Amino acid sequence: MSVTVFENAHIVDPSRGLDAVGSLIVEGRKIVASGADARNQGAPEGATRIDCKGKVLIPGLVDSRVFIGEPGAEHRETIASASEAAAAGGVTSIVMMPDTDPVIDDVALVEFVLRTARDTAKVNVFPAAAITKGFRGQELTEFGLLQEAGAVALTEGRHTISNAQVMRRALTYARDFGATIAHETKDADLGASGVMNEGLFASRLGLSGIPREAEAIPLARDLMLARLTGGSYHAAKISNGLSADAIARAKNEGVKATAGISINNLSLNENDIGEYRTFFRLDPPLRSEEDRLAMVEALRNGTIDVIVSSHDPQDVDTKRLPFADAAAGAIGLETMLAVALRLHHSGEVPLLRIVEALSTAPARLFGLPGGTLKPGAAADFALVDLDEPWIVREAEIRSRSKNTCFEDARLQGKVLQCWVAGRKVFGN
Amino acid sequence: MTRSDELPLYPHRHLLGIRGLSPHDIEDLLDRADAAVAISRQAEKKSAILRGRTQINLFFEASTRTQSSFELAGKRLGADVMNMSVASSSVKKGETLIDTAMTLNAMRPDILIIRHQSAGAAALLAQKVGCSVVNAGDGAHEHPTQALLDALTIRRAKGHIGGLVVAICGDILHSRVARSNILLLNALGARVRVVAPSTLLPSGIADMSVEVCRTMQEGLKDADVVMMLRLQRERMTGSFVSSVREYFHYYGLDAAKLAHAKPDALVMHPGPMNRGVEIASEIADGPQSVIQEQVEMGVAVRMAVMQALMDPRRNTGAAQ
């Protein structure tokens, strides 16, 4: 089996709290040694040696919220094109949302995704399945069979289950299979006509607002149901301080609750919408700067467990419209790491914590391989120059859709190489 | 009409909103409109200022008065005016706003008048076409020519706008007319009050340089101008206010409430009116009402705007 030794690397591995200079040794598809002591192990005869020149090796990112257009909207993104974008962003595993056409609510569709990924994708693709059939919010899908087929999570994707009885049953039934319910919460009525954060800026633009409570009220309900059922609940994308407070309280009380946040809500605020820039129409909406800062603090103190790209490719047919008519969502696989590193460069969140939220935590939460550089783990990792500046250029975006919130943005931190199962999938 | 080379060059290519206009720009447009009033009052109403220019009215929302006002304004200036009836057009067949605009743009109009139900639609269009764009109302965002015609009506009646107390009453939340008027009246130094039930006030209204009043008595006290807004029918029954009866009782303009304003206060309404909902007939048709003047000033203001945008001193050729 071929052996590759990455020497002179700055290894950052949150799964062991490791931040040290050392080596990483890969044999075949696995990591066999990593850390400071791996330096003394020496390389076997014929091993390939790569001098990392002090750059950083991190576990490959695990993006637990990625929307892909296959099947049904392949002109926006295919599993193959999403995996190209992922590899360039240092993302080695993606959890694919069931928001496709047809909705992934059936074993055959889970198998289709896994088969397509096996044949066309450069990175690991793990399908998530719908909680209810056709996202109709009524009948539960086959949690057990879906899980056996390879679905790693149950989620209603962009939708919110408004029926509390259905949510209670979903949490209860999922508990029997040890499955996690990942849910985005948006009240069906409160702020239903809204398209951006409620407040002065929305009023000036003449756009209908979404109050923070539209997210926090159904979230509070879900957390109560998680406590009632003992089920495992993941608030997939929170955006404001009210939600973070509710999560912190539930965690304190021993509820099996975790939370995720879109990189956009950590790095942007409502003012970025400017003059009706539809690429900044997002769900949940970009909030006030005060809320963004509350989110950064919630990430730092562990209330928020994971960061997601919420990669959501949209084409001109859904974005080149008046703001209120445009679809929500932005791509993010290629920029997530560099944007998250802003919080490292500004000193707001320690590097280990950022990498943990991007890799170790989501892998643990959804029971996925990866998220660690421990010996024996899959050789999924990225080599990163934390400081290299670059500018996001539309022409260089690998995703089929170009709806990035960071066009022409100056970012610091570039993925040099990305490896999946011991194979280089990106970089020189 | 005043010869255009006697007036300052209007510095903008489009009129998308009052936001972005300086007080000087606004006064300039009002001066031009004052002059345009004369044309409409002559027996011979046609001038040649925009001869050879093509104006397209693209109305995605039904509108009788604004569309005919723009059409008349264009015709009186000598432009060729085309009305795009959206109800029978390809928009119904699923064509997007941008594609429609690009198609019209290829026909090389000089000026495109757009009304659309979505905020920001006029600005989006302006980015994509080569001609001047006038916003004739975009969602709940802005309706700049309405604010200009309201200002012209006030200025002609009162002689000035600075220092006047103007009360804007009714559905502020959904009103583009209110937003444009708040911006314009503040720019010219008026004191603006808004009066509405709290369910019809937008979030953050207190930070828009207005005084928020809960009752008509408070809002109209010593006011120089009372502007009423239309309450859409679908908002009358339970969703934002409980009933027409209750709304009229508290917020409808009748003689008793108007008595709190100055005796010579102007009563305005952008139309179309709901008589007996936001305004009593005796007030709408009474001596203080300038509602008909507003309609006349509408044509003048739209003539002024188009003349300013098509200033021959600027190279405003058709779409390149």
Q: Of A299-303, B109-113, B228-232, where does mean pLDDT reach its minimum?
A: B228-232
Counts for chain B of helices (H) and strands (E), in that order? 11, 9
Span A257-274, average pLDDT: 98
Which residues are CB-contacts of B130 (< 8 A; sequence separation ≥ 6)? B105, B108, B318, B319, B320
- Is B202 close to A325, i.e. CB distance below 8 A? no
* Chain A residues within 8 A of B142 when measuring between CB atoms: 206
Confirm or reject contact between B239 and chain A (CB < 8 A). Answer: no
The interface predicted TM-score (ipTM) is 0.89
Say which residue the tokens 């490292």 belong to.
Answer: A344
The mean pLDDT value of chain B amounts to 92
- Is pLDDT at A22 greater than 90 in this prediction? yes
* Chain A residues within 8 A of B98 when measuring between CB atoms: 320-321
- Is pLDDT at A43 greater than 60 in this prediction? yes
Q: What is the pLDDT of residue B319?
A: 39
- Is B207 close to A200, i.e. CB distance below 8 A? yes
The mean pLDDT value of chain A amounts to 97
Position B318 confidence tier, pLDDT thresholds 50, 70, 90: very low
Which of A203, A206, A276 is the closest to B204 by Cβ? A203
Position B320 confidence tier, pLDDT thresholds 50, 70, 90: very low
Between CA A84 and CA A333 the distance in angstroms is 9
A303 φ/ψ angles, rounded to the nearest 5 degrees: -60, -40
What DSSP designation does A378 have?
B
Instruction: List, for residues B87-106, the tens digit of each pLDDT value.
Output: 656 566 667 888 888 888 99
Q: What is the pLDDT of residue A49?
A: 93
* Chain B residues within 8 A of A323 when measuring between CB atoms: 118-120
Confirm or reject contact between B98 and chain A (CB < 8 A). Answer: yes
- Is B120 close to A323, i.e. CB distance below 8 A? yes
Which residues are CB-contacts of A27 (< 8 A; sequence separation ≥ 6)? A1, A2, A3, A422
* Chain B residues within 8 A of A320 when measuring between CB atoms: 96, 98
* Chain B residues within 8 A of A201 when measuring between CB atoms: 204
Span A244-248, average pLDDT: 98
DSSP-assigned states of every residue in A183-226: E----SSTTTT--EE-SHHHHHHT--EE-THHHHHHHHHHHHHH
Confirm or reject contact between B139 and chain A (CB < 8 A). Answer: yes
Instruction: List, for residues B8-34, the tens digit of each pLDDT value.
Output: 889 999 999 999 999 999 999 999 999
- Is pLDDT at A75 greater than 80 in this prediction? yes
Q: Is B93 annotated as a binding residue?
A: yes
- Is A324 close to B98, i.e. CB distance below 8 A? no
- Is B124 close to A207, i.e. CB distance below 8 A? no
Q: How far is B128 from chain A (nearest CA, A)?
A: 11
Percent of chain B with pLDDT over 70: 93
Instruction: Walk me through the domains of chain B, giving residue ranges and CATH numbers.
Output: 14-142+296-312 (3.40.50.1370), 144-290 (3.40.50.1370)
Q: What is the pLDDT of residue B94?
A: 64
Between CA A237 and CA A242 the distance in angstroms is 13
Span B122-133, average pLDDT: 93
Confirm or reject contact between B212 and chain A (CB < 8 A). Answer: no
Q: What is the pLDDT of residue B7?
A: 76
- Is A209 close to B96, i.e. CB distance below 8 A? no
Which residues are CB-contacts of A323 (< 8 A; sequence separation ≥ 6)? A195, A196, A205, A207, A273, A276, A277, A278, A281, B118, B119, B120
Q: What is the pLDDT of residue A44?
A: 79
Span B207-231, average pLDDT: 96
Span A186-214, average pLDDT: 96
Using DSSP's 3-state secondary structure scheme, residue B99 falls into helix
Of A311, A318, A216, A223, give the one whose Cα is nearest residue A262.
A311
Span B239-243, average pLDDT: 87
- Is A199 close to B116, i.e. CB distance below 8 A? no
Which residues are CB-contacts of A25 (< 8 A; sequence separation ≥ 6)? A3, A4, A5, A6, A31, A32, A33, A34, A38, A41, A43, A47
Q: Provide the CA B41 distance to its chain's centre, in angstroms.
A: 21
Q: What is the pLDDT of residue A335?
A: 98
Between CA A309 and CA A333 the distance in angstroms is 6
* Partners of A25 in the β-ladder: A5, A33
- Is pLDDT at A330 greater than 50 in this prediction? yes
Q: Is B272 annotated as a binding residue?
A: yes
| A47 burial type by CB count under 10 A (0-12 exposed, 13-18 middle, 19+ buried) | middle
Between CA B301 and CA A263 the distance in angstroms is 47
Q: What is the pLDDT of residue B88?
A: 57
Q: What is the pLDDT of residue B90?
A: 59
* Chain A residues within 8 A of B123 when measuring between CB atoms: 275-276
- Is A206 close to B208, i.e. CB distance below 8 A? no
Position B317 confidence tier, pLDDT thresholds 50, 70, 90: very low
Instruction: List, for residues B250-265, the tens digit of each pLDDT value.
Output: 999 999 999 999 999 9
What CATH code is assigned to A60-365? 3.20.20.140
Confirm or reject contact between B91 and chain A (CB < 8 A). Answer: no
Between CA A224 and CA A230 the distance in angstroms is 10
Q: How far is A205 from chain B (nearest CA, A)?
A: 5
* Chain B residues within 8 A of A281 when measuring between CB atoms: none
Q: Of A5-9, B92-96, B144-148, B267-271, where does mean pLDDT reach its minimum?
A: B92-96
Between CA A280 and CA A267 the distance in angstroms is 12
Q: What is the pLDDT of residue B234?
A: 72
Which of B97, B140, B207 is the closest to A206 by Cβ? B140
Span B157-162, average pLDDT: 98
Which of A199, A206, A325 is the closest to B141 by Cβ? A206
Half-sphere exposure of B182 (CA within 13 A, CB side): 26
Between CA A273 and CA A250 the distance in angstroms is 33
Instruction: List, for residues B190-202, the tens digit of each pLDDT value.
Output: 999 999 999 999 9
Provide the residue type at A165 as one letter.
Answer: Q
Instruction: List, for residues A136-167, the tens digit of each pLDDT value.
Output: 999 999 999 999 999 999 999 999 999 999 99
- Find the helix or strand (DSSP H, E) in which A269 lies: none
* CB-based contact A132:A161 (threshold 8 Å): yes
- Is A276 close to B176, i.e. CB distance below 8 A? no
Q: How far is A209 from chain B (nearest CA, A)?
A: 8
Q: What is the pLDDT of residue B92?
A: 60
Which of B138, B142, B203 is the closest to A209 by Cβ? B203
Q: What is the pLDDT of residue B3?
A: 55
Between CA A385 and CA A7 the distance in angstroms is 15
Residue of B233 and A175 predicted with greater confidence = A175
